[in-house]
Structure 1
Amino acid sequence: MPALKLNRPALLIVDVQVGLIHGPQQPYQRERLLATINQVIAQAHEAGAPILAVRHTGPAGSPIAQGSPFWQVAAELQLEGRDARLFDKQASSAFQGTDLEHWLKEAQVEDLVIVGLKTQYCVDSACRAAAQLGFKPVLVADGHSCMDTELLAAEVIIAHHNHTLHGPIARVVEAANLQF
Structure 2
Amino acid sequence: MQASAPSRRALLIVDMQVGLFNGNPPPFEGARVLANINTLIARAREAGAPVFAVRHTGPAGSPLAPDSELTKLVSALDVDAARDTVFMKTRPNCFVGTDLAQRLADAGVSELAIVGMKTEYCVDSTCRAALDLSLRAVLIEDAHTTMNTPELDARDIIAHHNRTLNGPFVTLARTENFEF
TM-score range, shorter chain: over 0.9
Runs of 5+ unmatched residues, structure 2 = 1-5
TM-fit CA distance, 1:23: 1.9
Any residues of structure 2 matched to 1:120-159 within 5 Å, and which?
Answer: 120-159=120-159
Q: Secondary structure at the match of 1:137?
A: strand
TM-fit CA distance, 1:81: 7.6
Q: Secondary structure at the match of 2:109?
A: coil
Contact 1:51 1:82 in 2 (8 A): no
Contact 2:13 2:114 in 1 (8 A): yes
Residue in 2 aligned with 1:8? Answer: 8
Runs of 5+ unmatched residues, structure 1 = 1-5
TM-fit CA distance, 1:18: 0.6
1:98 aligns with 2:98: yes
Residue in 1 aligned with 2:68? Answer: 68
1:17 aligns with 2:17: yes
Any residues of structure 2 matched to 1:161-172 within 5 Å, and which?
Answer: 161-172=161-172
Q: Distance in 1 between matches of 2:48 and 2:169?
A: 26
Q: Secondary structure at the match of 2:8?
A: coil
Q: How many residues align?
A: 175
TM-fit CA distance, 1:63: 2.0
Q: CA RMSD in A?
A: 1.3
| TM-score, structure 1 as length reference | 0.93
Residue type of the alignment partner of 1:146: T
For residues 44-74 of structure 1, what are the alpha-carbon distances to aligned partners after superposition, in whole Å with 9 as ceiling and x for unaligned?
A: 1110000001110022333221101111011
Q: Secondary structure at the match of 2:124?
A: helix
Q: Distance in 2 between matches of 1:89 and 1:81?
A: 16
Q: Secondary structure at the match of 1:9?
A: strand
Q: Distance in 2 between matches of 1:117 and 1:61?
A: 23
Q: Secondary structure at the match of 1:105?
A: helix
For residues 2-49 of structure 1, what are the alpha-carbon distances to aligned partners after superposition, in whole Å with 9 as ceiling and x for unaligned?
A: xxxx82000000000010111222110011011011011111111000
Q: Distance in 1 between matches of 2:19 and 2:25?
A: 9
Contact 1:19 1:63 in 2 (8 A): no
| TM-score, structure 2 as length reference | 0.93
Residue in 1 aligned with 2:45? Answer: 45
Q: Distance in 2 between matches of 1:60 and 1:11?
A: 29
For residues 108-138 of structure 1, what are the alpha-carbon distances to aligned partners after superposition, in whole Å with 9 as ceiling and x for unaligned?
A: 1011000000000000011011111000000
Q: Distance in 1 between matches of 2:81 and 2:148?
A: 34
Q: Distance in 2 between matches of 1:62 and 1:175?
A: 35
| 1:81–1:174 Cα change, 3 Å | same
Residue in 2 aligned with 1:54? Answer: 54
Identity %: 49
Residue in 2 aligned with 1:3? Answer: none
Q: Secondary structure at the match of 2:97?
A: coil
